[in-house]
Amino acid sequence: MRVSAYVVVPLMSIVVSADVCAADEISDIVTKGKIDLGLRYRYEYVDQDNALKHANANTIRTRFGLQSGSWYGLTAALEVDNVSRIGEEQYNDTRNKKVLYSTVGDPDGTEINQLYLRYQQPFGGLTVGRQKIELDNQRFVGSVAWRQNEQSFDGGTLRVTPTDTLTFTYSYIDNINTPFGPDGDHGYPTNPANIKGHSQFFHANWRPSKELSASLYSYLLGLDNLAVAANALPGTQSSRTTGLRLSGLLADFGYAAEYARQSSYADNPNNLDGKYYLAELSYQKNGYQGKAGYEVLSGDNGSANRAFQTPLATKHIFQGWADVFLITPSTGIRDSYAGGTIPVVGGSLQMWYHKFDSDAGSIDYGTEWDVSYTHPIPYIKNLSVMAKYASYNANDYSVDTDKFWLQAQYQF
C-alpha cells in the first residue's frame, strides 16, 4: 500500500494536537466526532459482441470512516475501503489477468481512501492529505464514485471564500489514487493504480444568484506514467485545460454552457490543441426532470491520438453508462443526448438516449440507451436497491455492448 507524505503528515499532526490540547478540548475532538460504516454489494454483467467471454462480477465494498470533532477549526478524517470478490472470477478486473473475459474495473484490495487534516474558518479552509476533490459537475476533476474503489488525491487544497458568492480553489497534487488500485503500478499504461507527477487545479466560482453560476478554471495535469493508449508513450495524457462554465436556473428551467481549450503540458510528446464545447437545457419540477444537451470533445485524423481527454473526470456519468468512450477516440466525439428522471411507485426511474459521432472524419459511432431504477427499502433506513442497464449499439466504431447492474447499498 503506497502512502505519501501528504497522508503521513496529517496523521502525525493529529498525534501532536492530542499532546498539546487540554483535556476538555481532547474530549470535544472525540465526543463530537462520528463513525461512518457502509456496505455496497454489486453484481455487474457485461456482454460484448466480440471474442471475449461474458463477465459476471459479484463484489462488495466495505467502508469504515472516522471524522473528528472540531478544535478551533481543526478536524481530521480517515476513510478506509475494502473491495472483495464474492464467488468465481469470471471477469477481468484489470489486475487478475483474466484477459479472456470482458472488463469490470473493480479490483480486490484494501486502501486508505481519505486521510486528511483540515483547517476551516468562515473565510475558507486548507485541507492537507489524501482527499476527494470534485469540481463543478466533475467533467474534469472528480471522485469516480460509481466504481467500488473511488479516486482520491494526495496533496493540499486551499479554498478561499472572501464573499458569500465568490470561491477560489487551488490544489497541488503529487499522486492520484485511481479506481484501479491499490495494486498494479507497473505494466498498466492506461490505468495505473497510482498516477504519478505534479498537477495543479485553479478554480474560481462566482454565484451571485440561482440564475447564474460562473466557473473559470485551469487544470495543469502532470501525469507522468499515464498514456493515451497501451502502445503510446507515458505522459501522453498530461495537459493544460483552461475554460469557462456558465450554469443556472430560470424558474423551473436550467441551462449550462461551457467552453475549454487543451494544450500540451509537462513534457507531453504530443502537440495538443483540443477544444471542448457543451450546451445543455433542463427542466425540473415536482420530482420530474428532463434534460437535453450537446457535448463535443475535439479530435483530428492524425496518427497519434491528440483528441481532447478528461483523464481525472468521473467519466461514467458522461457519454453513456456502457463506458465505451473512457478514452476519447483520436477523431474526437460529438454526443447528442436527452433523457430524464421521473418518480415511480416510491422510487426513481431514469432513462437516457445518446447519439455518438466523430468530431473529425464523419464517423457514425453508434447509439446508446440507458435506464435505471432506484428504490429505498421500506422500514430499513439508509438501505436502497438499484437495477441499471446500458445498451450500446455500435456502427463504425467499437462493438455492441450490453451491461447490467444490480446493487444494494446500506449506510450505518
Q: What is the pLDDT of residues 240-262, one digit of tens each?
A: 999 999 999 999 999 999 999 99
The runs of H, that is alpha helices, within 161-292 are none
Rounded (10°) angle between helices 23-31 and 5-20: 130
Q: Average pLDDT of 405-409?
A: 98
Is pLDDT above 80 for 292?
A: yes
Mean pLDDT over 363-373 rounds to 98
Domain 5-411 sits in CATH 2.40.160.10 = yes
Greatest Cα-to-Cα distance within the chain, rounded to the nearest angstrom: 70
**CB-based contacts of 16: which residues, under 8 Å, 6+ apart?**
none
Nearest to 106 by CA among 118, 116, 117, 96: 96
Candidate from 27-41, 118-132, 217-231, 258-272 with smallest mean pLDDT: 27-41
Work out the percent of the chain whose per-residue pLDDT is above 90.
Answer: 90
Distance CA 227, CA 225 (A): 7
pLDDT value at position 186?
Answer: 81
For the whole model, what pTM was predicted?
0.92
221: nearest Cα among 154, 312, 143 = 312
Category of 15 on φ-ψ map: left (φ > 0), alpha (ψ -120 to 50) or beta = alpha
Q: Over 60: is that where the pLDDT of 7 sits?
A: no
Pairing of strands 152-163, 212-221: unpaired
- Model confidence at 21, pLDDT cuts 50, 70, 90, reads very low
Q: Is the pLDDT of residue 289 over 90?
A: yes
**What is the arithmetic mean of pLDDT over 60-68?**
97
Place of cell 496523521: 11
Q: What are phi and psi of 189, to 5 degrees?
A: -65, -30
pLDDT, average across residues 209-225 = 98
Averaged pLDDT of the chain:
94
Instruction: Show contacts of 326-329: CB within 8 Å, 24+ apart.
Output: 327/190, 327/228, 327/229, 328/297, 328/299, 329/299, 329/305, 329/358, 329/365, 329/397
Question: Residue 25: which pLDDT band, with cuts at 50, 70 and 90?
Answer: confident
Q: Does the structure show a pLDDT above 80 at 117?
A: yes
Which grid coordinates belong to 132?
476527494
Confidence tier at 216 by pLDDT (50, 70, 90): very high
pLDDT at 328 over 80: yes
CB 212 within 8 A of CB 204: no
- Report the amino acid identity of residue 229: A
User: Is residue 10 scored above 60 in pLDDT?
Assistant: no
DSSP assigned state of 210: T
Once rounded to an integer, what is the mean pLDDT over residues 32-56? 97
pLDDT value for 187 = 85
- Give the integer Cα–Cα distance in Å for 312 and 265: 15
pLDDT confidence bin for 286, thresholds 50/70/90: very high
Cβ-proximal residues to 217 (8 Å cutoff; 6+ apart), any chain: 135, 136, 140, 201, 202, 203, 204, 241, 242, 243, 244, 245
The rounded distance, in Å, linking the Cα atoms of 162 and 318 is 33
Q: Write out pLDDT tens, residues 182-202.
A: 988 888 999 999 999 999 999
**Band of the pLDDT at 12, cuts 50, 70, 90?**
very low
C-alpha cell at 183: 495494486
% the chain with pLDDT above 70: 94
Return the ∠ at Cα 260 (arms to 173 and 353), rounded to 5°: 100
**pLDDT digit string, tens, across residues 370-381:** 999 999 999 999
Q: How would residue 301 be classed by pLDDT, with cut points 50, 70 and 90?
A: confident
